[in-house]
Amino acid sequence: MSNTKKGKQGEEIAVKYLKENGYKILETNYHYSKFGEIDIIAIKHFKLCAIEVKSRTNLIFGEPFEAITKAKLDKIFMTFKYYLQNTKIAYFSHQIDAISVIFDAKNPSLYEIKHIKNIEL
């Protein structure tokens, strides 16, 4: 499975997971100019969440969450700030979450999903 396909499939699994857990999906692959992208923007209980999704087929290069560097988090924050400034809806609170999807190398239809809420470095 290519990295692009794996990433796209991981994002689709994350969207399904979020919906099953009471989130309303507002945006996917939200871009702010050339500066950044947020994989998923969702809301649950009046809390707006920017969600970064990382997918892997093995842990040779570490846990998927380890790929969220300070530079990546800064770009997500800047993009999220732009989104908040340009939305017409006032949200009570907001946070950045991360979801990891680890696919079974032998059977990609099997996977493990983890969700960390309100991440920061």
> Sign (positive/negative) of CA torsion 9, 20, 59, 109?
negative
50-103 confidence digits (pLDDT tens): 999 999 988 888 889 999 999 999 999 999 999 998 988 777 799 999 999 999
Q: Would the pTM of this model clear 0.85, i.e. be above it?
A: yes
73, 37 in Cβ contact below 8 A?
A: no
